[in-house]
């Protein structure tokens, strides 16, 4: 079975995706290495707990399915385009409520908390296009490139987060969703959220280089 480990990860982490997005509306993928030409992705239109590794579709960066008993997510063009970025090893796409609230307001997430540096200095908003299209994929890649970010909101749609591996991508999705909630709750209380300066964010980035074990 090709990409056996990557397909196993899709099955393993699908439950975390289910916790972040309503129904069957999200998707995730993991690549065959940082420069691999294929990725494993969640199948389309099925509950996240109803498939095993052999069902998980394997798709080339050219968008063609190479293996797997089930059809891949309709967002294959998005994933394939994002994998043109060399720093991306995994992608998570959700319609998580707080991030999606910002997306439907077409407002980016500003640096209200230092944890935003997990995905950049802000989370931009990509221009709307129909889901599953090359146009949407191009809009997302452009938004992340212009903001030098590893995540992007999508107008009237949801959130995309990228990382070197699937565990980190999911963790950072949680970070963005938490910050979106904090931002909107602060505004709902009638307060104006303060933002961190570029200099303050740079200090956090330097501190993060030695964070952890």
pLDDT single digits (tens) 118-148: 999 999 999 999 999 999 999 999 999 999 9
How far is C-alpha 7 from the geometric centre of its chain's CA atoms?
A: 18
Taking 70 as the threshold, does the pLDDT of residue 11 lie above it?
yes
In the chain, the domains with their CATH numbers are 4-208 (3.40.225.10)
Could you confirm whether 75 is annotated as catalytic?
yes
Contact 147, 120 (CB under 8 A): yes
Q: How far apart are CA 137 and CA 121, in angstroms?
A: 22
Q: What pLDDT is attached to residue 33?
A: 79
Interval 81-109 mean pLDDT = 95
Q: What pLDDT is attached to residue 78?
A: 95
pLDDT single digits (tens) 170-208: 999 999 999 999 999 999 999 999 999 999 999 999 987
Q: What pLDDT is attached to residue 53?
A: 97
Q: How far apart are CA 30 and CA 7, in angstroms?
A: 8
pLDDT single digits (tens) 30-40: 998 767 899 99
Q: Which of 5, 6, 64, 75 is catalytic?
A: 75
Q: How confident is the model at residue 107 (pLDDT cuts 50, 70, 90)?
A: very high
Residue 152 CB neighbours (<10 A) = 30
pLDDT single digits (tens) 150-179: 999 999 999 999 999 999 999 999 999 999
Rounded (5°) CA angle 159-160-162 = 150
pLDDT single digits (tens) 57-67: 999 999 999 99
DSSP structure string for 89-136: SEEEEE--HHHHHHHHHT--B---SGGGGGT-S-B-EEPP--TTSHHH
Sheet order of strands, 125-126 included: 65-67, 58-60, 38-41, 27-31, 90-94, 158-163, 151-154, 125-126
Contact 140, 112 (CB under 8 A): no
Taking 80 as the threshold, does the pLDDT of residue 213 lie above it?
no
């Amino acid at each position: 079975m090709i990409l056996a480990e990557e397909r196993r990860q899709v099955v393993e982490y699908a439950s975390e995706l289910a916790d972040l997005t309503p129904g069957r509306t999200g998707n995730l993928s993991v690549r065959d290495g940082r420069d691999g030409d294929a990725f494993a992705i969640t199948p389309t239109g099925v509950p996240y707990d109803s498939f095993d590794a052999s069902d998980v579709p394997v798709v080339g960066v050219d968008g063609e399915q190479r293996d797997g008993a089930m059809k891949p997510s309709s967002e294959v063009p998005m994933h394939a385009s994002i994998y043109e970025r060399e720093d991306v090893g995994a992608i998570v796409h959700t319609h998580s409520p707080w991030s999606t609230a910002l997306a439907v307001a077409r407002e980016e997430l500003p640096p209200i908390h230092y944890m935003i540096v997990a995905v950049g200095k802000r989370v931009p908003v990509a221009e709307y296009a129909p889901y599953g299209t090359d146009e949407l994929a191009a809009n997302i890649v452009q938004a992340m490139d212009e903001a030098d970010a590893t995540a992007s909101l999508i107008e009237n749609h949801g959130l995309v987060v990228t990382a070197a591996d699937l565990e980190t991508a999911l963790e950072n999705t949680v970070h963005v969703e938490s910050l979106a909630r904090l931002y909107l709750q602060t505004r709902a209380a009638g307060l104006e959220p303060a933002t961190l300066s570029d200099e303050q964010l740079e200090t956090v980035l330097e501190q993060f280089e030695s964070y952890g074990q």
